[in-house]
Structure 1
Amino acid sequence: MKKAILSIAIFTIALISSTEVTAQEFPKMDVSPMDAASYPTNWREADKLVKVIYSRPQLKGRSLDKLAPNGKVWRTGANEAAEITFYKNVMFGDKKVKAGTYTLFTIPTDGNWTVILSNQKNVWGSYFYDEKEDVARVEAEVSQGKDSLEAFSIVFDGEDEEAMMHLGWGKTRVSVPVKG
């Protein structure tokens, strides 16, 4: 009899617990999902130089200058501002930058873009951007790709301790060297 009551009690607790777990509501999927890019790009290589975590907005028929306006500070992606981590001291463009995590902002223009590393952390958008928190500003070369990218993307390429970070959206390509 005791075993039967114990079994019923355990069954009831398990049933209640599983009901609570399945009743959890999850928000719908973000339309600008987070992504990460790192160098070296091979996932098997743990000794990274740099890693960027960012969200990937989509053009969806809109123009790039509507989503990343010329002459204005942009969060470099969607939602939270992009974060870049250097695992070693680096040259970012022509600026010395200490190992650490920074927020990555950009200022798009018709010519070269300004790429900004900021000490601000956990920033949503660029609404509260503060120039006083800048660690480095570099001018990044802009080129045009032959294919249009629907989703904003960041990739790295390079050799050894010399990488190139490429930002791409639409046909616009922005490149910044990163050297360890």
Structure 2
Amino acid sequence: MKYFIFIFSLFIATSAVQAQEIAFSKIDKSPLDVVIHRDNNNQAIARVIYSRPAKRDRKIFGELVKYGEVWRTGANEATEIDFFYDVTINGNLVKAGAYSIYTIPGEEEWTFILNSQTNQWGTKHDPSKDILKVTMDSMPSPQTIEEFSISFVEDPDGLILFMGWDNTLVNLPIQVAQL
């Protein structure tokens, strides 16, 4: 009899779990990604956390992302960059810390904006918190870039931050102020 009660209880418990629908979040159309640049000793120098929207047969720059307007530089939450050491960008010292990245795309060049406010939705740019605005070179990409992408490339003077999407690449040299 105890065996029967045990089996019956197990059946009821299993049925109750199966009857409940487990709700997992759906795959985001602009998934989150992280890129990290490390030194020769594997110490992190900089990290970018961002969402990667897809082109999906759309014209991106000049239409979806307007020229001359502040762009969240990705999708969803504001793109965040963490510097683990003080850096210099275009001759401007930037202290180690976390910042948001915004950009103003243009046909020939872009404006890179470093903002002290983090953890906000990407369209909530507060210009009073901008700590740095510099221009970035823009160039055509040799091939179409389907998903917005950010990468670091090693440079003799530090690193270069690359951003690309659709048929456009931009880059920003960054020098490490201390190591």
TM-score class, shorter-chain normalisation, is: 0.7 to 0.9
The runs of at least 4 aligned residues of structure 1 exceeding 6 Å deviation read none
Q: After the TM superposition, which residues 2-13 of structure 1 pair with which residues of structure 2 at under 5 Å, given as runs?
A: 8=6
Structure 1 gap segments, 5+ residues each = none
Contact 1:41–1:156 (CA under 8 A) maintained in structure 2 = no
Pairwise CA distance, 1:26 = 1.3
Find the counterpart in structure 1 of residue 159 from structure 2.
Answer: 163
Contact 2:72–2:101 (CA under 8 A) maintained in structure 1 = yes
- Aligned partner of 1:28 among 22, 26, 29: 26
1-side partners of 2:173 and 2:38: how far apart?
Answer: 13
Contact 1:154–1:168 (CA under 8 A) maintained in structure 2 = yes
Find the counterpart in structure 2 of residue 179 from structure 1.
Answer: 175
Q: Given the two structures, how large is their TM-score scaled by the length of structure 2?
A: 0.84
Structure 2 residue 159 is matched with structure 1 residue 133: no
- Aligned partner of 1:118 among 103, 109, 115: 115
Contact 1:95–1:138 (CA under 8 A) maintained in structure 2 = no
Give the counterpart letter for 1:138 in structure 2. V
SS class of match (1:109): coil
2-side partners of 1:159 and 1:111: how far apart?
Answer: 23
Superposed CA RMSD in Å reads 2.8
How many residues align structurally? 173
Find the counterpart in structure 1 of residue 37 from structure 2.
Answer: 39
Q: Cα deviation per residue 1:14-59 (whole Å; 9 max; x = unaligned)?
A: x47x929x743112110110111111399xx641110000000111
Pairwise CA distance, 1:161 = 6.4
SS class of match (1:29): coil
Percent same amino acid at aligned positions? 35
